[in-house]
Chains A and B, each alone.
Chain A
Amino acid sequence: MMFQLKGALSPEELTEINDALEGQGYVDGRETAANAASLVKRNVQLPVGSELRARMSQKIEQALRRNQMFLWLAMPKQIGPFHLTRYEETHTYGDHVDNSIMGLQAGAPMRADISMTVFLNNPEDYDGGELIMNSRVNPQAIKLPAGDAIVYPTGEFHRVEPVTRGVRSVAITWIQSIIRDTHQRQILTDIWTAMDGVSKLTPEDKLDENQAYRSLSKTHWGLLRLWAES
C-alpha cells in the first residue's frame, strides 16, 4: 500500500526549509548506511548531529502530524528523524532494502514499517533521479512535485536513478506504525477510502446523519482496536 500525500508541505513551509538549507554543508550519505546499502549509496546529507537537521526534521514532522490522510493511513507510533538529503550530478542510490530496525546504534531502536520521501524541489529541477519502487519485481518510477510525499511499506528493493543534471533534494524518514502488518494497513486504508468517499455525500455539519459514514467509522475504529499495538 503505497500512497501519495499531495501538499504534505505547504508552499510557505517549503520555502522556509529550502531557504534554511541554502548553502549548508552536506556530508557523505554513507555516514548512515549499513551493510549492503552502504555499498551502493552515493549522496550527501546534513550531518545527523547538526542542530539544523534536528530543526528541519521537527518542522517536517509537525507538518505531517497535521495531515489527516497521513495519520490515518500510516498510524504512526513513532516517526524517525528526517534525513535531509541531496543528490547532485552523478549521485545515485543503487538497489537496496532499508534496515528494519533504525536507531539501533543510537540506543533508540525503532521498527521501520513504513518509508517516506518528501520532495523538496520540483521534477523540472533535475534530470534522472527517479525513485524506482519495487525494482526487482514490478518497477514503478516516482518523481513528485515539491511538497508532495510518497509513503510505502519498508522492506522492498528500491533505488534512486543517477541524477544527470541539477540537484534532487529530499527529506527521508521511517515510521513505526501502530499497525504492524501491511496487510492490515491495506484493509484499513480501503475502509478509510470508502469512509472518505461517502463523507463527501453530505455537508460536513450533517456528517452525523450519514449512516454509511458512521457505520464505516465504527468498523474502522473496531478493527484498529483489534489490531493496534499498545
Chain B
Amino acid sequence: MIIRLTNLMKPDEAAKIVASFEKETHGTPGQPMLDSDATRRVGADMRKAVMQIGGFSVAAMPRRMSDFHIHRMDEGMSHAIPIDQAVMGAGDAGGDDPVRTDLRITLFLNPPVEYGGGELAVNVSTGIQKLKMNVGDAAIYPANDYHFVEQITRGARWTAEAAIQSIIREEEQRTALTEIWSVMNWMQTVPQETADQLGPSYRALKRAHSNLHRYWADV
C-alpha cells in the first residue's frame, strides 16, 4: 500500500533547500544522492521535523527513521532504486539506533512542472503505480521490492529520501490499520444525524483498531 501525504513540507521551505544545494555535486557520479556536511545536516534536521508531524505519525506509524538524503536527478538520469539493506546501521541512519528498513519515504522538493519524466514507479503487489507529486507532498511505500525513477527528460527533479522502521512490522497489518483509520476519519466528517446513527459502529471500530494496534505493535 502506498500512503500519500500532502503538505509534509511548505513549498517555500522546499524551495530554500533546492536553492542552497543547486550547485552541490553528486556523492557518486551518476547517482542522485548529494553528499556533503551541509546536506547531511539538513537531512538530519528534516528527520527531526518530520517525526514531529502528527499526520506523518498517524499514517506511517514510525518507530524510528533514518536521516533524509537529498537527491537531485538531472536531465538524462534515471534511477533503479536499490533494495535497501534490511537493517541500516546507526552510523548510516544518523542517530543512536539502527533502523529496520520497512518503508521508504520520498518527499518531493520541487513542483512537477519543473521537470519532464521522473515518475516514481512503485512496485506494489498488484503491479506498478506511478507517482509525480506536488512540492511538499510525500509518498511512503514498502521497501521490500525494486522501485524505479523514470528518466528525466527536462529540468531537474529534487527529492528527499529516507527509510522508516514501522511500529507495525507487517505490511498487511499496516494496511488493515490504515484502512480502519480512514473509515474512522470519514465517520467524523458526516452530518450530525448520520454521526448519531453511526455511533455504535464508530465505537466498535475504535475498539477493533486499538486492539489490533496493541496486538501488533512492536515497541
User: A-side interface residues toward B, CB under 8 Å?
Assistant: 183, 186-187, 189-191, 193-194, 196-198, 200-201, 211-212, 215-216, 218-219, 222-223, 226
Contact = CB atoms under 8 A, between A and B. Distances in A.
A190 B180 CA distance: 11
A215 B182 contact: yes
Given A183-B211, A194-B208, A197-B201, 6 more contacts: A187-B215, A191-B205, A198-B183, A201-B194, A222-B172, A223-B212
Nearest to B180: A219
A193 B180 contact: no
Interface string B175-219: 110011011001100000010011011101101100110010000
- Helix, strand, loop or mixed for chain A's interface? helix
Contacts of B179: 215-216, 218-219
A222 B176 contact: yes
Q: Which of A189, A197, A226 is the most central at the interface, judged by chain B CB atoms within 10 Å of its CB?
A: A197
Contacts of A201: 194, 197-198
Given A187-B211, A215-B179, A198 B172 contact: no
Given A187-B211, A198-B198, A193 B204 contact: yes
Kindly state the interface size class of chain B when it binds its partner.
20 to 34
A26 to B, nearest CB: 41
Q: Which of A191, A201, A226 is the most central at the interface, judged by chain B CB atoms within 10 Å of its CB?
A: A191
Nearest to A222: B176
Nearest to B179: A219
Closest 10 CB pairs of A and B: A197-B201, A190-B208, A194-B201, A190-B204, A193-B204, A194-B205, A219-B179, A194-B204, A212-B183, A187-B208
14 contacts: A187-B211, A187-B212, A189-B204, A190-B204, A190-B205, A191-B204, A196-B201, A197-B198, A198-B183, A201-B198, A211-B186, A215-B182, A216-B179, A222-B176
Contacts of B201: 193-194, 196-198
B91 to A, nearest CB: 36
A219 B197 contact: no
B146 to A, nearest CB: 25
B210 to A, nearest CB: 10
Nearest to A213: B183
Contacts of A226: 172-173
Nearest to B207: A190
